[in-house]
Structure 1
Amino acid sequence: MSLSSRPLRKLGFLTIGLFDEADPRRGHESTLEIIQLGEQLGFDSAWLRHRHLQFGISSPVAVLAAASQRTSRIELGTAVTPLGWENPLRLAEDLATVDILSGGRLNPGVSVGQPMRYDDLKHSLYPDTADAEDFSYQRVRRLLDLVRGETAMDFSGTVGFEAFSARVQPHSPGLASRMWYGGGSLRSAQWAGEQGMNFLTSSVVKAEESEDFVEIQLSHIRTFRAHHPDGERARVSQGLVVIPTDGASPRQRAKYAEYAAKRTPRTTAPQGPARMMVSTDFVGPSAEIAERLHAHAAFREVDEVAFALPFTFDHEDYVQILTDMATVLGPALGWHRTDQPS
């Protein structure tokens, strides 16, 4: 087995935070408990995914604000926030606020594009400006400028008893360096590099120059770094669905195997009009998963991961998976926790 050319430096996980419509608090509490467990296990980062008008976390920034008060070390990220739903100025205020509350641990990941099912919801989201909204990279540029402290309005000073700032407040100086772009195409990889952002690459990429997932993802990583000011030192995090089974019960192993089997057919060819390629899931004992990942050309290019938890599993499944990731799989990939267990 060949070792990764980039020893795994940061181990993270991603969750969607599903909940029951009849009892949403329970699902949100479960997500917060999972983040707390991640910190206890030594994970470097925990990431939340957006789900608008569905039964997953619709406001990751609010949930991460709560998580920031229940943790002290683990980094907290969004993977990703679709900016088509957001006002960049208001989002910049929220991100800076949570970053301040967390002590500088926030890692906001964003993407662009028209919101899903836009024709069905634009009358609620943008009732007066639906046809004029800009869903291009420019929306990210606006957010980046505001986070970096660029002018937000043409006035600063005092009017009566009211003091005004020309830039977003609070301002968190280190936040801009922790902004990530979630991209699945060569164009987005190049653009993110040119902007000096960090790059999130997931288990879904666009089949442009190839129909081999690993080849495509590898080309995105290399394209990003080729256009980034930091070159080979530019940060890339890989998010694949990874399910170690070392500590799983027979029932859990059967459940995980069935989950992966149902998803496998979509990994064999490009999916939909956008020709998206989906990675296979990595399920099994940690030793086998580590061997497969060490043979994965794109994995060998990164030293950070945010392994995705399956969205439909139960709380006890996540506890087992995260425990195995931190105690068995992580070390097999060369990762070592940098904190000291309490």
Structure 2
Amino acid sequence: MRKVYVLHENNQWTVHLKNRLEELKVPYELWHLDEGLIDLSSEPPQGVFYNRISASSHTRDHRFAPEFTEAVLAWLERHGRKVVNGTRALRLEVSKANQYMALNQAGIATPKTIAAVGKPHIIEAAKSLGMAPFITKHNRAGKGQGVYLFHSVEALQDYIQSPSFDEPVDGITLVQQYIQAPEPYIIRHEFIGGKFLYGVKVDTSEGFELCPADACSIDDLLCPTDNEQAKPKAKFEILKDYRPAFIEQYEDFLFANKIQVAGIEAIQDADGNSYAYDVNTNTNYNSDAEGKAGQFAMLELATYLQNQLGSL
């Protein structure tokens, strides 16, 4: 029997999709790719294969899940199986440098960024950037891992020489222009089947942890306010009637890179210029925000996978 096969490494991030597939009575199977084996001389089963491997897998002790998944995807694609978020999507997921180059090629602005390996070169990158404040981030990350704001090169030097220096898993540190937004929020643009679904306004006043998954936000669903009598502000809010002019450009970018499911995070500066700075091909959704808006992306995703299975 043909099925939807979900390639993943995090059960917490898969349960909502599993529930929606069951609700729609779609046959499915979960492939947890933290470890395992694959006979490359065999043929894969028939079905639709949806890749949900995350760049942050190493933070869950699943260090080689992306590498193993790439081998699995190569096997599937060699045999002409229908893959949602295939090899190209995975390569962008695990490298922000790859993301920025692909975004720039599509004419989409990103913050000025310098990639560096080695502590002396990170300092050199900050000097070459020639602007402050600036941020550092890991090339392969997720959930804001390795993102720090610095107001001077000296502050960066102190951090790099300290025991708290956070070494990137792939060795590449990005030194990046800090985009100062007039208000503390970014917008995450969600796409399913390569088409825009909705935009989520994400409050960034508490820092760089922007993962919208319920598992990520249990402790910070609501942001504190100075006035205890004031109604708490939701960290994630789905925007109504939101479709900026650049959405078609984002959709073209996804099509060119064979990405069917993604969340693209962008920030706007004081002059109204928008910069994309993260492409998440293992995108998650916040149930509180969706409940208020009456839009349910996992249901949309399960329906999309159901339709892809039916089209085989």
Shorter-chain TM band: 0.3 to 0.5
Query: In proportion to residue count, which structure has more helix?
Result: 1
Query: In proportion to residue count, which structure has more strand?
Result: 2
